[in-house]
C-alpha cells in the first residue's frame, strides 16, 4: 500500500469565501454551489491520483526493471493516470453546465473558456480510454480507420501520459504539480467570481 502525505497536499486545497452564494434566485444559487462542490471533489481526486502516481524515470528505471512486480502493481500507474484525466475532464463538463444552464457571472464564462484551452484535449484521452474496444483496433466510434499509423494507448514517458484520439492525433497530459496548479488557479478564480456570505 502506497502512503500518501496528506498534509503536503493541503497546498492544493480550494478555498470558499463563504457558506452561501448571494443571489435572489435561491434555487439557481443552490445548484451552482452543488456543482462547485462536485468540482472540488473531482479536483481532490486528481490531486490524490497525482500523489499516488509513481513515474518511471532515468533514475529509477533499473530498480523498476529488476524488481519482480506483480501485474497488479504494474497496472497502478495506469489507474492513477486515468483517474487524473477523468477528474480534470469531468471538471470541464461541470463547468460547461455552470456556463450554459446557470447564468453565471461573465467572468465565469471567460474562465471556463480558459479551462477548455488548457484541458479540453483531455476529452480525447478520456474517450479513447473508455472506448478501448475501438481504439485498440485502430478505429473510430463509427468503425472508420483512425487517420494515423501510430496508435498509442495509455503510454508513459516519465510523468507524461499519452493516448491517440479519435481524430488520429496524439494527446498527452503531464501528471505533475504544474498541471494541478493551472487547474486550481482557474477553479479558484471561478469560485471567487461569485458573491459569498
The 10s digit of each residue's pLDDT in 163-178 is 999 999 999 999 999 9
Q: Which three cell numbers stand for residue 95?
A: 463547468
Q: Please report the pLDDT score of residue 59 as a whole number.
A: 87
Q: Dump pLDDT digits (tens) for 64-73.
A: 788 888 899 8
Q: If pLDDT is split at 50, 70 and 90, which confidence band does 190 have?
A: very high
pLDDT at 1 over 60: no
Q: Which three cell numbers stand for residue 191?
A: 469560485
Q: Which three cell numbers stand for residue 60?
A: 529509477
Domain boundaries, the chain: 24-192
pLDDT at 98 over 50: yes
Residue in this structure with the C-alpha cell 512486480, named with its chain if needed: 69
Determine the Cα–Cα distance for residues 117 and 110; give it in Å rounded to an integer: 11
Between these two residues, 1 and 187, which has the higher pLDDT value? 187
Q: Dump pLDDT digits (tens) for 35-94.
A: 999 999 999 999 999 999 998 888 888 887 888 888 998 899 999 999 999 999 999 999
Determine the Cα–Cα distance for residues 152 and 149; give it in Å rounded to an integer: 10
Q: Dump pLDDT digits (tens) for 119-151.
A: 999 999 999 999 999 999 999 999 999 999 999
Q: Please state at what angle helix 177-192 crosses helix 76-101, rounded to 10 degrees.
A: 20
Q: Please report the pLDDT score of residue 77 as a whole number.
A: 94
pLDDT average, residue stretch 91-106? 95
Q: Please report the pLDDT score of residue 2 as a whole number.
A: 60
Residue in this structure with the C-alpha cell 519482480, named with its chain if needed: 68
Amino acid at each position: 500500500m502506497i502512503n500518501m502525505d496528506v498534509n503536503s497536499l493541503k497546498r492544493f486545497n480550494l478555498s470558499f469565501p463563504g457558506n452561501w452564494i448571494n443571489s435572489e434566485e435561491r434555487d439557481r444559487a443552490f445548484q451552482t454551489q452543488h456543482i462547485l462542490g462536485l468540482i472540488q471533489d473531482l479536483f481532490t481526486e486528481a490531486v490524490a491520483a497525482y500523489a499516488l502516481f509513481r513515474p518511471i524515470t532515468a533514475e529509477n528505471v533499473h530498480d523498476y526493471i529488476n524488481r519482480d512486480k506483480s501485474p497488479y502493481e504494474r497496472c497502478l500507474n495506469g489507474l492513477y493516470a486515468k483517474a487524473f484525466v477523468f477528474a480534470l475532464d469531468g471538471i470541464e463538463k461541470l463547468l460547461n453546465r455552470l456556463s450554459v444552464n446557470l447564468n453565471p457571472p461573465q467572468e465565469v464564462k471567460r474562465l471556463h473558456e480558459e479551462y477548455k484551452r488548457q484541458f479540453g484535449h483531455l476529452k480525447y484521452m478520456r474517450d479513447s480510454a473508455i472506448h478501448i474496444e475501438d481504439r485498440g483496433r485502430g478505429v473510430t466510434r463509427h468503425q472508420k480507420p483512425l487517420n494515423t499509423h501510430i496508435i498509442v494507448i495509455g503510454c508513459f514517458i516519465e510523468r507524461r501520459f499519452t493516448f491517440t484520439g479519435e481524430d488520429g492525433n496524439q494527446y498527452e497530459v503531464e501528471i505533475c504539480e504544474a498541471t494541478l496548479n493551472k487547474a486550481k488557479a482557474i477553479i479558484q478564480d471561478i469560485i471567487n467570481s461569485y458573491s459569498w456570505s
